[in-house]
């Protein structure tokens, strides 16, 4: 079954006539946890593009040690080394992009181009705000769906992912709040993807207004991610329990919160009892979690500085929102990146 941007859906919509072909590009921690959930759904045939973990995925599968799902294996239906290798095998209903956002190193549209066919829906599972723009430009005939994912997971080795907590997933078209509601036919693929993921301990929601939710997550990422590295390689627990760093976290979060409201023209969309920037910081006080930027730094991979710090900062400048703390954080984290040479570019592809 395929979907088109203009909304012309095949008549089988809703009653799946055949298994849906889903390909995941980027088999890091997030891609692996998503793959595990999709594979559990008998309506999906899951192809995984694996690089450093190709051998492991192909033989026994990738081990997921999860506080939620137990100690289990993710064994994709098909494992390939590249999108090129996947291209001739079948046509893909859903192309799920779970790579890091590193515009200077990875051309994401190039990465998925071989597997994007007529009617493929592109599902972008990435941090940041603007990852979809180049994909829309390259694939104007395909529906590109942004998502927001909360999953506390980390890749521990080529064949093991540790999943501590949470799978909360939002997906929906990228309409601005002032736009008219997205047509049901554009929402349909989002709803279908949600159905694939649904299961015990997974919260998956199709929403007509993803931008606000993206900004809400941006506040977390733009604050905790760089400061975890700058504060001396600390997890959420250590950062939030250090009085000075706590104040810095709150200041940066407030600036990002104000930026999100200025850009969207809406009050910040909030989740799970968080009402303001400070309560957002406090909500992480119980967790010992290393933000993905710290994981990348420790593994010698490039950090998502553009997507998580530079882009919101540029939007703050454009909307005249004062962001002195974020400016400082950006300045320092770029210097850390420049003096901390990533070991390899290829290791950067999977989150
Ligand atoms: C919110 C969180 C921790 C997990 O999804 C994340 O986005 C990150 O570490 O970058």
pLDDT, tens digit (0-9, with 9 covering 90-100), for 255-311? 999 999 999 999 998 777 899 999 999 999 998 999 999 999 999 999 999 999 999
In angstroms, the CA 247 to CA 211 distance is: 27
Q: Is 5 helix (H, G, I), strand (E, B) or coil?
A: coil
Clarify whether residues 111 and 186 are in a common domain.
yes
| Helix runs in the chain, H state only | 29-39, 54-58, 83-87, 108-112, 133-138, 184-197, 210-230, 236-240, 243-264, 277-282, 292-298, 305, 311-318, 324-339
Is residue 151 lining ligand 1, measured as CB closer than 6 Å? yes
Most confident of 132-136, 152-156, 236-240: 236-240
- Give first-to-last CA distance, the chain, whole Å: 29
Q: Are 197 and 43 in contact (CB under 8 A)?
A: no
Whether residues 204 and 217 share a domain: the answer is no
pLDDT-based confidence at residue 336 (cuts at 50, 70, 90): very high
DSSP 180: P
CATH number of domain containing 227: 1.10.1040.10
Cα gap 132→116, rounded to integer Å: 14
Burial 221-230 (b: 16+ CB within 10 A, else e): bbbbbbbbbb
Q: Is the CB of 220 under 6 A from ligand 1?
A: yes
196 and 230 fall within a common domain: no
- Whether the per-residue pLDDT at 168 is higher than 90: the answer is yes
- Residues 329-344: what's their mean pLDDT? 84
User: What does the pLDDT look like over 243-260, one tens digit per residue?
Assistant: 999 999 999 999 999 999
Whether 180 and 260 share a structural domain: no
Structure confidence at residue 175 (pLDDT)? 62
User: 185 lies in a domain?
Assistant: yes
Q: Is 274 inside any structural domain? A: yes
Q: Is residue 187 part of a domain?
A: yes
pLDDT of res. 6: 35
In a domain, 192, yes or no: yes
Position 173 scores a pLDDT of 87
Give the C-alpha separation, 278 to 283, whole Å: 9
Does residue 221 line the site of ligand 1, with CB under 6 A? yes
Residue whose entry in the numeric block shows the structure tokens 């890749």: 155
Residue 182: its pLDDT value, please? 67
Among residues 208, 238, 256, the one where a domain terminates is: 208
The answer, yes or no, to whether residue 177 has pLDDT greater than 70, is no
The answer, yes or no, to whether any atom of ligand 1 lies below 6 A from the CB of 98, is no
Task: Tell me, yes or no, whether 136 lies in a domain.
Answer: yes
**Which tens digits make up the pLDDT trace of 3-43?**
333 333 232 334 567 899 999 999 999 999 999 999 999 99
Of all atoms in ligand 1, which is nearest to the CA of residue 304? 10
Condensed to tens digits (0 to 9), the pLDDT of residues 93-136 reads: 999 999 999 988 889 999 999 999 999 999 999 999 988 989 99
The average pLDDT across 214-232 equals: 97
Does 198 share its domain with 252? no
Does residue 333 lie within any of the structural domains?
Answer: yes
User: Which of 59-73, 141-155, 168-182, 255-269 is predicted with the least confidence, judged by mean pLDDT?
Assistant: 168-182
Please give the share of the chain, as a percent, with pLDDT higher than 90.
77
The reply to whether 271 and 295 lie within a common domain is yes
- DSSP-assigned beta bridge partners for residue 154: 162
Q: Are 98 and 351 in contact (CB under 8 A)?
A: yes
Segment 139-162 mean pLDDT? 93
What does the buried/exposed string (b/e) look like for 304-329 if buried means 16 or more CB atoms within 10 Å of the residue's CB?
Answer: bbbbbbbbbbebbeeeebebebbeeb
Spatial CB neighbours of 277, under 8 Å, sequence gap ≥ 6? 219, 250, 253, 254, 256, 257
The SS3 call for residue 115 is helix
Q: How many domains does one find in the chain?
A: 2
**What are the DSSP calls for 300-349, one per residue?**
TPPP-HIIIIIHHHHHHHHTT---HHHHHHHHHHHHHHHHS--S-SGGGS
Q: Answer whether 225 contacts ligand 1 (Cβ < 6 A).
A: yes
Higher pLDDT pick, 328 / 272: 328
3-class secondary-structure state, position 20: strand
Same domain, 176 and 55: yes
Dig out the tokens for 88 from the structure: 């001739």
- Predicted confidence (pLDDT) at residue 342 exceeds the cutoff of 80: no
Residues 293 and 333 in one domain: yes
Per residue in 41-93, pLDDT (tens digit) is: 999 999 999 988 999 999 999 999 999 999 999 999 999 999 999 999 999 99
Task: Examine the domain organization and report whether 169 and 248 are in the same domain.
Answer: no
With beta carbons less than 8 A apart as the criterion, state whether 268 and 257 touch.
yes
Mark which of 177, 208, 239 sits at the end of a domain: 208
Candidate of 33, 99, 152, 153 to mutate for ligand 1, largest count of ligand atoms within 8 Å of Cβ: 152
On whether residue 307 sits in a domain, the answer given is yes
* Ligand 1 pocket residue status of 152, Cβ below 6 Å: yes
* Ligand 1, atom nearest to 295 Cα: 9
Instruction: State whether 186 and 46 are in the same domain.
Output: yes
Predicted pLDDT at 181: 65
pTM: 0.89
For residue 174, pLDDT beyond 80 = no
Domain that holds residue 163: 20-208
Say yes or no: CB of residue 292 within 6 Å of ligand 1: yes
Q: Are residues 300 and 339 in the same domain?
A: yes
- Closest of 118, 101, 97, 49 to residue 310, by C-alpha: 101
Band the pLDDT of 180: cuts 50, 70, 90: low
Residues across the chain: 351
User: Which backbone phi and psi does 54 adopt, to 5 degrees?
Assistant: -55, -50
Same domain, yes or no: 57 and 203: yes
* pLDDT value of residue 8: 31
| Contact between 248 and 227 (Cβ < 8 Å) | yes
Among 188, 208, 228, the domain boundary falls at 208
Whether 9 is in a domain gets the answer no
Is the pLDDT assigned to residue 183 strictly greater than 90?
no
- What local confidence, expressed as pLDDT, does residue 179 receive? 53
Closest approach atom of ligand 1 to CA 289: 3
Instruction: Say how far apart CA 196 and CA 54 lie, in whole Å.
Output: 24
């Amino acid at each position: 079954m395929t979907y088109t941007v203009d909304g012309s859906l095949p008549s089988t919509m809703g009653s799946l006539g055949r298994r849906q072909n889903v390909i995941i590009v980027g088999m890091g921690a997030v891609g692996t946890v998503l793959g595990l959930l999709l594979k559990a759904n008998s309506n999906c045939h899951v192809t995984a593009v694996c690089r450093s973990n190709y051998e492991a995925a192909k033989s026994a599968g990738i081990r997921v040690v999860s506080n939620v799902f137990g100690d289990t294996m993710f064994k994709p239906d098909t494992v390939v080394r590249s999108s090129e290798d996947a291209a001739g095998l079948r046509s893909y209903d859903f192309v799920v992009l779970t790579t890091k956002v590193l515009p200077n190193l990875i051309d994401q549209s190039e990465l998925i181009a071989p597997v994007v066919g007529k009617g493929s829906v592109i599902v972008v599972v990435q941090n940041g705000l603007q990852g979809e723009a180049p994909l829309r430009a390259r694939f104007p005939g395909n529906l590109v769906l942004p998502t927001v994912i909360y999953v506390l997971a980390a890749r521990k080795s080529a064949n093991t992912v540790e999943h501590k907590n949470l799978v909360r997933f939002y997906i929906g078209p990228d309409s601005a709040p002032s736009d008219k509601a997205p047509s049901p036919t554009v929402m349909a693929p989002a709803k279908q993807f949600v159905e694939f993921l649904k299961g015990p301990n997974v919260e998956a929601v199709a929403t007509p207004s993803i931008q606000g939710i993206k900004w809400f997550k941006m506040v977390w990422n733009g604050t905790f991610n760089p400061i975890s590295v700058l504060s001396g390689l600390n997890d959420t627990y250590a950062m939030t329990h250090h009085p000075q760093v706590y104040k810095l976290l709150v200041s940066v979060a407030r600036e990002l919160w104000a930026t999100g409201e200025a850009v969207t023209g809406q009050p910040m969309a909030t989740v799970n009892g968080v009402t303001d920037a400070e309560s957002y910081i406090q909500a992480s006080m119980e967790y010992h979690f290393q933000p993905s930027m710290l994981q990348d730094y420790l593994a010698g991979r490039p950090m998502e500085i553009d997507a998580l710090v530079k882009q919101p900062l540029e939007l703050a400048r454009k909307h005249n929102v004062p962001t002195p703390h974020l400016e400082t954080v950006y300045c320092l984290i770029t210097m850390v990146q420049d003096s901390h040479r990533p070991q390899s570019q290829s290791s950067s592809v999977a989150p």
